[in-house]
A and B are shown apart, each in its own frame.
Chain A
């Protein structure tokens, strides 16, 4: 399979990354930051965009993540660091998967089904993880238009119900609301961390860091607009509308006649999400493969093992989403920012290949 092209990477940053941020996060932000929910959201996006810029800049060195570390710290230290990073990615991937499980069980069924309804996701996950990460570029080519259609469709159907005056007065939630909101958002912002295992799988072309960051911010702008619209529609009851992008369009007048046509767009976004939430796990596996070699049995074995572990965790935490959320956003709120915001800039001073060869 060919390398990921610049276009595919930009598609990922602009169109696919925002999807994960418009499910539960808007409701959480509206609970903590109320009508100021945009500020923590935008702040998280800006911080992450800076990290994305650094991660893309690190691609200039022409090495993959493991090689970058190995050239500076030696192979043993690099293996330890990469393994730690892989564990972090698996940790970061837990909440989005549980979020998706809750989303699927609540949105796609009239009555809350058992875990069995979500279990086929793990079959898909193992198949996806067994594929080389570089083949994802083509998947993003297909998912990007689906994501755009999905988000645009939801916008169109929802816009008429929004009263943007509800976002005023600005600053009502105060600094505490902003801080709490930013902390709760950290669990959803680790896109820069996903880029590190992709290093070496795409070529750095002139201006990629800027283009990538701008694309990421463009996707963020669309997501921010959606978050604003979400609050503008639901206002005080926004925290109760757990699955934002499935809720905003339900007041569209045509639904009485045509049925829930908004579900077409929701299905498109759910399809994108199925790939997006698996990416942290794949990225984790990729880290291990880079460090320890990639025989077929190891790749497939890791895919099966990681899937089995996540299936088990999902089964154990079936009704404990809130507890996991609290653990990730409150107790261990520093873990995700520590890796996703700190790791990309730390890669920049590392040695290039040429320096190591001299």
Chain B
């Protein structure tokens, strides 16, 4: 059976055939006028109280002969739609929307009484701010769209939904401001989403692979945020955003590397402070990547790089260390990565124990036992802290740090310089959705530099970034 016929019983059987699991329930009842109905719904996903109040009770009390055009009046729900295809009805039931079947009517009604357990809106742990909004996205798609709509009260905000995933049929919303976002980018994003052929999309991060121009690249090519204020600001700049049902992480396109050096707080503090903190983040990132590498390269190949007094201190510390500088640094780095991984995954109540084990047993004892030197621990600690100054780039920078360390241990400082040249060349030749990853630095875009590492006063940011190719560049009159 492909379409609903006037026989509610047959239709119910067809639906049960498509949805054989036990948690899909049916409820048959009659109206006061004698008409027979059947409701098919997914038990865990449906608000049964609402279903009773808005659908079953009014229909039971309906006295006249129910005709197709009367259905909307008979049901007290603000969210209804009619549907004829049995497959579509099954999809609605799977989404949590109950389906009402009528005898003698060749259509069914879908009622929006979905009830999915959601957590409360809270501050996202990955993007904490002192000043500015603290709301974060949650896993519920509707709540997330509401959080965005609340910030962009304009009809220009388009939220086009489509389903991705053969089995998960995950709702993905393409959000953009019409007339502000580049239409070409919007179409390209939709096309790429439509081309995805995968069975399940458990999280938005799955989509990034399909949206990236270099899917196997180490470099991030899709922006992410957990905060609706940042998401709305990015849409206002002319970007396209993606909200994925079941994921608290929204995606934004096109992505520029500089975005991860900017924090929402930068826009709520004076520009000189924002500039200083951005420079600090850049410095911290460079320290995180290069410090262990240069330390090893200097020890192995060019001791001149150390000031004399520091060299004497280091020489005293490493005298009895049984490992080569590069192996020593690799071991300490490995321990740091393990501690990091364990501290994220382990239950909170044993976190204290891990701190004690990590700091005292591994750090203090390893130094006094002569396994590793104090400078190595200090350098890795400094590098580890630096890495978290730009939290959105941790995955990339930790790999880069390791690569630099290996290069430094084998070729020395020239190896680090060449590796940097590789990275520069790779970054400047990466583009996604027509936007160069390293813009506004390469290619230099004069006006866009006003909100890059240097942050100008809000009054000077009167135009949208040129890189995003917005059809409406003026944002401040």
Q: Please state if A110 and B417 are interface contacts (CB–CB under 8 Å).
A: no
A274 to B422, CA, bound (A): 10
Q: Considering the complex, which residues of chain A in the window 1-54 have a beta carbon less than 8 Å from any beta carbon of chain B?
A: 1-2, 5, 7-8
Nearest Cβ distance between residue B14 and chain A, in whole angstroms? 54
- Stretch in B76-84, B135-143, B437-445 with 4+ CB within 8 Å of A: B437-445
Nearest Cβ distance between residue B454 and chain A, in whole angstroms? 13
Q: Please state if A127 and B422 are interface contacts (CB–CB under 8 Å).
A: yes
Nearest Cβ distance between residue B421 and chain A, in whole angstroms? 5
Q: Is B334 an interface residue (CB 8 A)?
A: no
Interface string of A262-274 (1 = CB under 8 A from B): 0100010011001
Q: Is B305 an interface residue (CB 8 A)?
A: yes
Q: Is A137 an interface residue (CB 8 A)?
A: yes
A119 to B212, CA, bound (A): 33
Q: Considering the complex, which residues of chain A in the window 237-287 have a beta carbon less than 8 Å from any beta carbon of chain B?
A: 255-260, 263, 267, 270-271, 274-275
Q: Which residues of B contact A110 (CB under 8 A)?
A: 301-304
Q: Is A142 an interface residue (CB 8 A)?
A: yes
Task: Tell me how many residues of A have a C-beta within 8 Å of chain B.
Answer: 37
* Option from B302, B417, B420, B422 in Cβ contact (under 8 Å) with A109: B302
Q: Is B146 an interface residue (CB 8 A)?
A: no
Q: Please state if B442 and A117 are interface contacts (CB–CB under 8 Å).
A: no
Q: Which residues of A contact B425 (CB under 8 A)?
A: 127-128, 131, 139
A329 to B320, CA, bound (A): 52
Q: Is A163 an interface residue (CB 8 A)?
A: no
Q: Which residues of B contact A142 (CB under 8 A)?
A: 424, 428, 438, 441-442
**If the complex has contacts A127-B425, A138-B428, are A120 and B443 also in contact, measured as CB distance less than 8 A?**
no
Q: Is A91 an interface residue (CB 8 A)?
A: no
A275 to B422, CA, bound (A): 10
Q: Which residues of B contact A274 (CB under 8 A)?
A: 417-418, 421
* Option from A1, A109, A124 in Cβ contact (under 8 Å) with B421: A124
Q: Which residues of A contact B361 (CB under 8 A)?
A: none
Q: Please state if B422 and A118 are interface contacts (CB–CB under 8 Å).
A: no
Q: Please state if A138 and B414 are interface contacts (CB–CB under 8 Å).
A: no
- Stretch in B86-94, B177-185, B246-254, B306-314 with 4+ CB within 8 Å of A: B306-314
Q: Which of A7, A108, A127 has the most CB of B within 10 A?
A: A108
Nearest Cβ distance between residue A85 and chain B, in whole angstroms? 25
Q: Please state if B422 and A137 are interface contacts (CB–CB under 8 Å).
A: no
Q: Is B412 an interface residue (CB 8 A)?
A: yes
Q: Please state if B308 and A267 are interface contacts (CB–CB under 8 Å).
A: no
A126 to B305, CA, bound (A): 30
A124 to B436, CA, bound (A): 22
Q: Is B399 an interface residue (CB 8 A)?
A: no
Residue of A nearest to B440 (CB): A141
Q: Which residues of A contact B301 (CB under 8 A)?
A: 108-110, 113
Nearest Cβ distance between residue B392 and chain A, in whole angstroms? 22
Q: Is A135 an interface residue (CB 8 A)?
A: yes
Q: Is A155 an interface residue (CB 8 A)?
A: no
Nearest Cβ distance between residue B294 and chain A, in whole angstroms? 9
A127 to B425, CA, bound (A): 9
Q: Please state if B412 and A138 are interface contacts (CB–CB under 8 Å).
A: no
Interface string of A118-148 (1 = CB under 8 A from B): 1011011001100100010111011000000
Q: Considering the complex, which residues of chain B in the window 77-120 have a beta carbon less than 8 Å from any beta carbon of chain A?
A: none
Q: Is B411 an interface residue (CB 8 A)?
A: yes
Q: Which residues of B contact A275 (CB under 8 A)?
A: 421
Q: Please state if A263 and B417 are interface contacts (CB–CB under 8 Å).
A: no
Q: Is B415 an interface residue (CB 8 A)?
A: yes
Interface string of B418-456 (1 = CB under 8 A from A): 101110110011000000101001111000000000000
Nearest Cβ distance between residue B355 and chain A, in whole angstroms? 34
Q: Is A298 an interface residue (CB 8 A)?
A: no
Nearest Cβ distance between residue A97 and chain B, in whole angstroms? 14
14 A-B pairs in the complex with CB atoms less than 8 angstroms apart = A5-B443, A108-B413, A110-B301, A110-B304, A113-B301, A118-B414, A123-B418, A138-B429, A139-B424, A141-B443, A142-B424, A255-B307, A267-B416, A274-B418
The 9 closest A-B pairs by CB, nearest first: A259-B307, A138-B428, A138-B442, A141-B442, A108-B414, A108-B413, A124-B418, A274-B421, A142-B442
* B contact residues vs A (CB 8 Å cutoff): 301-308, 310, 407, 411-418, 420-422, 424-425, 428-429, 436, 438, 441-444
6 new A-B pairs (CB below 8 Å) besides A110-B304, A120-B418, A270-B414? Answer: A113-B301, A120-B414, A121-B414, A124-B422, A137-B443, A260-B304
